[in-house]
Amino acid sequence: MSNQPETFPFQPDAVDVLLREHESLRRLIQEAMPPSPSASELERVAFDAEQPQRLEALRTEIEAHLSAEERVLYPYLLQFDDFRTLITRAHEEHRNARSALQNLLEENLSFERMKKSLLALQSVISQHILFEERDIFPVFRKRVARTDREGLALQLIQARKSLKKAA
Ligand SMILES: [Fe+2]
Ligand SMILES: [Fe+2]
């Protein structure tokens, strides 16, 4: 499937891979939003029946994405002194994202509480994505040669595969 995070019609660099994953995280969060209180009983029941799979997909994707960055990209960037503060902040934001995810995964949340938790997660994740896309990726692309960035893309894809298998 062409929208799979690991499939590209061209040779991706690490940023292409991560941008694709960011897109898919945004979409999965959006898809997990419960229907409004005015939705019909049928819609609510149908949503409820499939919500466990949606939340599981979201959990796996978030964990695979954060962990692959922590294993591959962030350690690589730490060889550059001026990335140090940015990476500290990135780790902190990953911690916040994981704790927002934990809140969402609590058992038996009402639609209302689920929506609140999803909005909180959405806010933490979108801010973090924005931070990476604005403050980290452009400098990384300028600083690191294309072939090295392509090598890191393969490592990210590999790390993600092994993390998803283990999840
Ligand atoms: Fe990140
Ligand atoms: Fe990211």
Tell me the pLDDT tens digit for each residue of 82-120: 999 999 999 999 999 999 999 999 988 888 999 999 999
73/59 Cα distance (integer angstroms): 20
CA 43–ligand 2 middle distance (angstroms) = 33
Distance of CA 46 to the CA centre of its chain: 26
Say if 7 falls within a structural domain.
no
Tell me the pLDDT tens digit for each residue of 132-162: 999 999 999 999 999 999 999 999 999 999 9
Number of domains present in the structure of the chain? 1
pTM for this structure? 0.92
Say if 2 falls within a structural domain.
no
Say if 5 falls within a structural domain.
no
pLDDT on residue 84: 96
CA 53–ligand 2 middle distance (angstroms) = 22
Say if 128 falls within a structural domain.
yes
**Full domain range(s) for residue 98:** 14-166
CA 139–ligand 1 middle distance (angstroms) = 15
pLDDT on residue 136: 98
CB 42 within 8 A of CB 118: no
Tell me the pLDDT tens digit for each residue of 3-48: 555 678 889 999 999 999 999 999 999 999 999 889 999 999 999 9
Say if 6 falls within a structural domain.
no
Which residues have a Cβ under 8 Å from the Cβ of 108 and sit 6 or more positions away?
none
Residue 32 to residues 26, 49, 58, 75, 122, Cα–Cα distance (Å): 10, 12, 8, 32, 11
CA 71–ligand 2 middle distance (angstroms) = 12
Residue 140 belongs to domain with CATH number: 1.20.120.520
Say if 79 falls within a structural domain.
yes
CA 153–ligand 2 middle distance (angstroms) = 13
